[in-house]
Amino acid sequence: MENDPANYPVEEAVEVKCYFVRERNALLVRASFTPIYTDYYLHLMEHKIRYEGAQDQMIKDGLTVLALHLASRPWNEAVAWTLSWQDPLQSLFVTGSNRDGTVTGRLFTEDIQERDRDLLFSQISVEGQEGRQSMIELLSNNLFEVGENYYEQSEQRLGRFFCHSEEDFVLITAQPECDDEWLAGLDETAIRELDERETLSLLETRSYRFECGCSQDKIFPILVGMTSDTIDSMFEGQEVIPTSCPRCGAKYAITREALEAFVEENP
């Protein structure tokens, strides 16, 4: 099977290289995403999470687009995107941090809020500053087109995503005094010839890995304000209930005894 984790070698974190395209005034960000896909599939296998083919590809594309976007942003920035579609009714959540060098995400197909249109909600966190939020209308379910729409609507500048080769992707964003006509006219053939046709200056290399950092102990604080009646209702006479991380979908078994002890210790 194409998506079998056994088909992917164990690798290190993804290395994202950032270049300045001289004379075009554009930033080029490029990486091979095999390591992130490897860890993503190992995560699914560990927690027995299954997605249909199109859903699986959507999550991978979301992680790719977000990681490339993050690499073009300041080092102290973290980003979370929630993408809500109405047909079919589903919600994709992807998030990443330049501070930690991580990306993660999951797809929701149940208990989705119905809306009158498809929307993307963006939350940006900058260390030492108040967070920023924005919202744009989704015009596609193709994540690379969504990324370009985000740059047009939210960043108000050109941002183009390309597939350079299998699992190797590129983002080029307009910088001040960019040659917008050149950027708008790029296609995948031009991207593959870019190294020969343009002068690229390596600015920096960043590293990202698929990691959430969640644990059962980190799930408890979400539940700490629950009353005894609420806990009774949640467990419905059982001693153990399943729960999952809202960021990555990792599955945990919460025992009533452990939850009650945590609530008692953290009133």
Residue ranges of domains in the chain = 5-210, 216-265
Is the domain spanning 5-210 CATH 3.40.190.10? The answer is: no
32/208 Cα distance (integer angstroms): 11
Q: Does the structure show a pLDDT above 50 at 95?
A: yes
Give the class (CATH, top level) of 216-265. Answer: alpha beta
Same fold: 5-210 with 216-265? no
The confidence score (pLDDT) of residue 216 equals: 80
Q: Check if the beta carbon of residue 221 is closer than 8 Å to that of residue 245.
A: no
Q: Please report, rounded to a whole number, the percentage of residues in the chain having pLDDT higher than 70.
A: 93
63/81 Cα distance (integer angstroms): 10
Q: Does the structure show a pLDDT above 70 at 263?
A: yes
Position 1 confidence tier, pLDDT thresholds 50, 70, 90: very low
The confidence score (pLDDT) of residue 224 equals: 63
155/172 Cα distance (integer angstroms): 13
Over residues 17-27, mean pLDDT: 97
95/256 Cα distance (integer angstroms): 30
What digits encode the pLDDT tens for the residues 181-228? 999 999 999 999 999 999 999 999 999 999 999 988 787 776 666 666
Q: What is the mean pLDDT of the chain?
A: 90
Report pTM: 0.89
Helices (H), 193-235: 194-197, 216-223, 228-235
Burial letters 122-133, b for 16+ CB under 10 A, else e = bebbbeeeeeee
If we measure between CA atoms, which residue out of 136, 135, 138, 143 comes closest to residue 118?
Answer: 138
**Is the CA virtual torsion 131, 80, 219, 231 positive or negative?**
positive
30/64 Cα distance (integer angstroms): 10
Q: Does the structure show a pLDDT above 50 at 80?
A: yes
Q: Does the structure show a pLDDT above 90 at 236?
A: no
If we measure between CA atoms, which residue out of 6, 92, 94 comes closest to residue 45?
Answer: 6
What digits encode the pLDDT tens for the residues 36-69? 999 999 999 999 999 999 999 999 999 999 999 9
